[in-house]
Amino acid sequence: MQFNSIEYAIFLVVAFTLYWALARWNLLRVAFLVVASYIFYAASNPWFVLLLVGSTVTDFYAGRGIVKADAAGQIGRKKAWLVLSLAVNLGLLGVFKYANFFYESFVDIGNALGFTLVFDRLDILLPAGISFYTFQTMSYSIDVYRGLLKPEKSFLNFAFFVGYFPQLVAGPIVRAVDFLPQLKRRAHVSRQQLSRAMWLIGIGLLKKVVIADYLAVNIVDRVFDAPHRFSSMEVLIGLYGYTMQVYMDFSAYSDIAIGSALLFGFKLPDNFNRPYTATSISDFWKRWHMTLGSWLRDYLYFPLGGSKKGDLRTYYNLFVTFILIGLWHGASWTFVVYGCLHALAMSINRYFRVNVGKREKKKLTAWGWTWRVALTLNFVVLARILFRAQDFTQAGEIVDALLAGTTYVNSMTPLLWALLIGCYVVHWLPRSPIDSLRDALSKIPIPAQGAVLAAALLVIMQAASTEVVPFIYFQF
C-alpha cells in the first residue's frame, strides 16, 4: 500500500478514527494497530506477513532467553540465543535479498576459473521492508544482550514495535529502547503533534508527487535509459536531478511515516537533516538516512573497534561498514563499489581531519563553507551513478556520455529548470522561512489545518502522474 495512494489515505483515516475510539482501552488500541499494521503489510503480499511474524516471534523469545540465561550464569546459552536471533534475521535477508547475488557471483567466479557454469535466476520475491524490520529486531536482541534494555514482557507490544505500519516498509529504523517506553504511556496526542503530523504528511506528498516523480519522468529516467542521446551537460543535469529526486523521494517517505505515527501519538526518529548542506562526506552521513548510519555505527563500526585501534584498523572498519551500507541498499556489485567509494572518501576525510584539521579550528568563512559543500555534493552526485545504474555497463555509458564534452542543452523546459534549481536553493536556504510558514499554519484551528491539508492534497493529486509511482527505497 503506497503512501501516495488513495487507498492509504482511506486506510489512515479509518485507522485513526477507530484507534482513538478505542484509546481508553490500552490492550484493544494496541491490538487494533497490530492488526491494522498486518493488513497494511499484507496489501503487498499476504505471505510476507509470515516472515514478519517469524522474525517477531524469534526475537521476542530470544530476548527473554538471553535474560534468563544471564540470570542463571549460563554465558554460552546467552550467546546461543543472540546467535539464533542474528542467524534468523540475517538468514531471511540472505535468502530473500541476496540469494541470487551470491549464486550469480559464484557462477561468475567459477567461469573465470575455467568451469562452465550457467546462472539460472532463482524465482525469489523481495519482501517489502525486510531490510528495515530485520535490523529493528536484531537491535532489540543485541541491546538486551548488552544489558541496555530489559526484554519486553508483552508479545503484543513487541509485535506492535516490529510491525507498526508507518515505518514498516521503508523506515525510519526504530530502536526498541526508544519506542517501547511510548507504549507504557497513556494514549494522547497534543495539538502540536497533530499540527506537525499534517504538515509532515503534506510536505511529504509534495516532495514525492510534485518534485521527485516529476524529476524522474522528465529528466532522470530518460538520461539513464539512453545516455547517448544526451549531451554531457544534460547527463550532468540528469545526475543532479537524480540526486535531488532520491532525496525528495526518501525523505518524503520518512516525513509521511513520522507524520502518520504522530497521528496516533507515537514519535519516530528523524531520518534526514538537509544532507546536501554537508561540508564533508562525514558530515553527509550524519545527515543522510540517519537511522541507518547510527545503527551501523553502534552495531558494527564500534564493535569492530571504531577508531580506537590505530589508523589502519580504523580505515579497515570504515571499509567494512560502508561495503555493508552499499550491500544493504542492493544485492549488486555496483552497490559494493558504491560503498567502497564512500569508504575511500571517508578515509581521506578522516586523514585530513586528524592530521590537518587540528591546525584549522577557525569558524568557516562563507567561501570555506561554499567550496566544501560544493566538493561534497559533487562527490555524492557522481557516486550516484553506481547507486542508480542497473549494472556496470549502464554506469559506463553514463560516464562515457559525461566525458564526451558536449555542452548543448535541448531537453530542459523552463519549468524543469525552475523546479531543479529551486529545490537546491530552498535546500540551502536558512530554515527560518519554512519554519515561519509551518508555525503560522500551526496557529490556526486544527479543523482549518485539516482543510488546508485537504486542499493541498487536491492540488497535489492534479499534479500527480496517472499511475502511483513506488518509492525508491521500497526496493531496498
Q: Please give the tally of structural domains in the chain.
A: 2
The answer to whether 230 and 299 are in contact (CB under 8 A) is: no
Mean pLDDT of 314-336: 92
Q: How confident is the model at residue 270 (pLDDT cuts 50, 70, 90)?
A: very high
Which residue type does 419 have? L
Structure-model confidence comparison of residues 124 and 361, the more confident one: 124
Given a cut of 70, is residue 358 above it in pLDDT? no
Domain co-membership, 176 together with 303? no
How many CB atoms neighbour CB 210 within 10 A? 18
pLDDT of res. 303? 92
Domain co-membership, 129 together with 253? no
- Condensed to tens digits (0 to 9), the pLDDT of residues 157-199 reads 999 999 999 998 877 999 999 999 998 888 888 888 888 898 8
How many CB atoms neighbour CB 346 within 10 A? 21
Last residue of a domain, one of 152, 186, 220: 186
Domain co-membership, 315 together with 450? yes
pLDDT of res. 117? 82
Q: Is 39 a domain residue?
A: yes
Given a cut of 80, is residue 435 above it in pLDDT? no
Given a cut of 80, is residue 472 above it in pLDDT? no
Name the average pLDDT for the chain.
Answer: 88
- Condensed to tens digits (0 to 9), the pLDDT of residues 74-132 reads 999 999 999 999 999 999 988 888 888 888 888 888 988 888 888 888 888 888 888 88
Domain co-membership, 378 together with 329? yes
Closest by CA to 377, choosing from 274, 472, 251, is 274
Given a cut of 90, is residue 284 above it in pLDDT? yes
Catalytic residue among 188, 228, 289, 329: 329
Q: Is 69 a domain residue?
A: yes
Q: How confident is the model at residue 360 (pLDDT cuts 50, 70, 90)?
A: low
Residues in the chain: 476
Given a cut of 90, is residue 275 above it in pLDDT? yes
Given a cut of 60, is residue 359 above it in pLDDT? no
118: helix, coil or strand?
coil
Q: Is the full-model pTM beyond 0.85?
A: yes
pLDDT of res. 366? 83
The answer to whether 409 and 233 are in contact (CB under 8 A) is: yes
Mean pLDDT of 322-344: 92
Domain co-membership, 270 together with 176? no
329 assigned to active site: yes
Residue position matching grid coordinates 545526475: 239
CA distance 132 to 92: 12
431: helix, coil or strand?
coil
Q: How confident is the model at residue 411 (pLDDT cuts 50, 70, 90)?
A: confident
Cis peptide before 172 (omega within 30 of 0): yes
Domain co-membership, 218 together with 305? yes
Last residue of a domain, one of 186, 203, 233: 186
Domain co-membership, 174 together with 249? no
The secondary structure of residue 363, as a DSSP letter, is: P
pLDDT of res. 353? 83
Structure-model confidence comparison of residues 169 and 56, the more confident one: 56
Q: How confident is the model at residue 476 (pLDDT cuts 50, 70, 90)?
A: low
Domain hosting residue 92, numbered range: 24-186
Residue position matching grid coordinates 529486531: 137
pLDDT of res. 19? 93
Domain co-membership, 204 together with 320? yes
CA distance 349 to 338: 17
Last residue of a domain, one of 129, 152, 186: 186
- Condensed to tens digits (0 to 9), the pLDDT of residues 144-156 reads 999 999 999 999 9
